[in-house]
Structure formats: C-alpha cells, structure tokens
Structure 1
Amino acid sequence: MKYHLKSFTLLLVCALVAVMSCKNKELTPADNVNITPGDSTGGTSSGSTTFDPTTQTLVSEGKFKDGGHPTSGTVKLYRQGTTYTLVFDSFKTDEGPDLRIYLAEDTKANNFIELVELKNTGNFYLTLPDNAEVAKRKQVLIWCKRFSVLFGSAELMAPAQM
C-alpha cells in the first residue's frame, strides 16, 4: 500500500509539472509572417510576406477550438497547382515550452506531420511540404511536443460545410 501511494504521488507531481510548464502566457502577435517548414525562428522567409488569395483556390477551412488551452482564430487551406498553403487569421493561443503546428488525421496526433515550431500569433501563412497528404490529414493541431499536450485544433472542412 505504501509503495502504491508513493507511485501515485510521484505520478501526480509529474503531471502537475507538465501542466505548469505549459504557461497561460500568450505568444506575441505577428503581422502577415510567412513561415516555411523548417524555419524555427518564426521570422519572415525569402519572398513576399503577405498572402494573395486571388491567385489561389480555397480548398478547406476551419475554426480553432480549445484543447488544453484557449486557442482561437481561423485557418484556411489554399491550393495553387500542386502547392498547398495554410493561412492563419486572427490566430491566438497560450505560450508553451515547445509548441508545434501539426497536420494530423485526428486530435490525438495520429499519422501527423510536424510543419513548424510555433513562435507567433496573429496573421501568418506557411507553405506545406509535398508529403503533407492534405486529403487524409484534416486536423491542424497546436501541439506541445515536450509534454504531448493538445493546446487547440481546427478541422479543415469544405467552405460550404462551415
């Protein structure tokens, strides 16, 4: 009995440390930042820093909902030829120790692909890699990689379904 109580206490302390590590501080806003996969700085990459939807086809969109932390805004998936781009609008979430943007089959991060480390809120976009498989992966996740915590998610649906 004593051993089980110690194990339970240790497990409880670890869970509290994990939750406390994901602070309720907001990230700083960014105005029209172009983040490409692999750019972990959250800064602008080469090329235009604004997204022009008039040259793209809107494929799907979704509204962010809370996971373990308040998360809001919208995300839209655009296509131009074989290139897909995710556009974040009025995006907002809490700060975390190791936040990433995942594209996944579900909110549990099954069959996910990591797109980029998240450093910004506000309006920004990122170009998806060729292996994104957007037909299968309909969930955009804000994920704390260090503690495997879902901060928020948006399900990409056809515009008429919104």
Structure 2
Amino acid sequence: MRKVLVNSLLVFALLTLYSCKNKELTPVNNVDITPGSNAMGTTGTPFDASTQTLISQGDFKNGGRYSTSGTAKLYRKGTTYTLVFEAFKTDQGPDLRVYLSEDTGARNFIELVELENSGNFYLTLPNNAKVDERMFVLVWCKRFSALFGSAELKASGQM
C-alpha cells in the first residue's frame, strides 16, 4: 500500500512539473513605454506614461524551473492604478494568470487576468487591488499551482 502511495505521489509530482507547457502567448507590438510614448493595452487603447505617476517597479525573476523576464511598473493617475509590462516574456503554459499578491506563494492574491500577451502591454487594476499590501506581480499556472515568475514592486527611489 505504501509503495502505491509513493508511486502515485511521484507520478503526480512529475505531471505537475511538466504539464504547464502548451499555451503560446501572443506578442504585442514592442513599443517603448517611457514617459511620452505609447503602448497598446489589453483594450487596444494606447497607454501614455507622461500623464501618469510612476509608483513602483520591479524586474521579473524566474519561478523555479520556468523562465520569465521583463519589467513590471505600477503607475497611478488619480485613484486609478495601471500595471505596465515591458519586454515581458515567459515560458508557455496551459492556464497562466497574472496575480497581484502579498508574496511569491500567492498569499492574499487577486487574479488580474488570464495571460495572453508577451512584449509590452498594460492592465488597469480593479479598485480592490490594495497595491500598498500586494507588492508582487506573479505569473501563475492556475491549473497546477505553479509559479512561472514574479516581480517585486519597489518604490521608484528604492531601485
């Protein structure tokens, strides 16, 4: 009985490690997102950083065996927060999501969107984002609870 349980756990672990690998992300036009320039967001509306205040930013780091790179920047305009992805790239997976979380373990997270893009793009955050508490942007495989990558958002002066 114990041998069956150990073998079952081993098979489950192997499936978890190798299953998040099949959804191809759609590249977005790679346009610089610097003050005064534009990039296309998920709605197709240009993002103009010159009208926003940069609050925090962080570089993506790999999550375990998966590769993720690029930069996440958090902008504010009034009471609206926008999360900008620059030169973003990650390994393919079947159920990738973008989370905003308190840590890299997805503690107290909110799901922002199912990930469909690479390159430069942006997301307007919901009013309940609590950006002062959730300082990590996660690329997360929801189906297998696997971290693909993370960016810790730090105040602009702390970079």
Q: TM-score, normalised by structure 2?
A: 0.89
Name which of 30, 35, 41 aligns with 1:34: 41
Q: CA deviation at 1:26?
A: 5.8
Contact 1:58 1:77 in 2 (8 A): yes
Q: Does 1:107 align with 2:104?
A: yes
Matched position secondary structure for 1:64: strand
Count of residues in Structure 1 that have an aligned counterpart in Structure 2: 149
Q: Answer yes or no: is the 8 Å Cα contact 1:143–1:150 preserved in 2.
A: yes
Cα deviation for residue 22 of structure 1 reads 1.2
2:61 aligned partner: 65
Q: Report the AA paired with residue 34 of structure 1.
A: G
Contact 1:103 1:115 in 2 (8 A): yes
- Partner residue in 1 for 2:16: 18
Tell me which stretches of 4 or more aligned residues in structure 1 moved more than 3 Å: none
Of all paired residues, the percent bearing the same amino acid is 64
Give the strand-richer structure, 1 or 2. 2
76, 80, 90: which is aligned to 2:73? 76
**C-alpha separation between the residues in 1 aligned to 2:139 and 2:124?**
17
Q: Which amino acid aligns with 1:122?
A: G
- Render the CA deviation track for 1:106-148: whole Å, top value 9, x for unaligned: 0000000000000111000010000000000000000000000
Structure 2 counterpart of 1:66, one-letter code: N
**What RMSD, in angstroms, separates the aligned Cα atoms of the two structures?**
1.4
Aligned to 2:34: none
Tell me the TM-score normalized by structure 1: 0.88
Whole-angstrom distance in 2 between the partners of 1:28 and 1:117: 12
- Corresponding residue for 2:126? 129
| 2:154 counterpart residue number | 157
* Uncovered stretches (5+) of structure 1, i.e. residues with no partner: 36-44
* Contiguous gaps of at least 5 residues in structure 2: 30-38
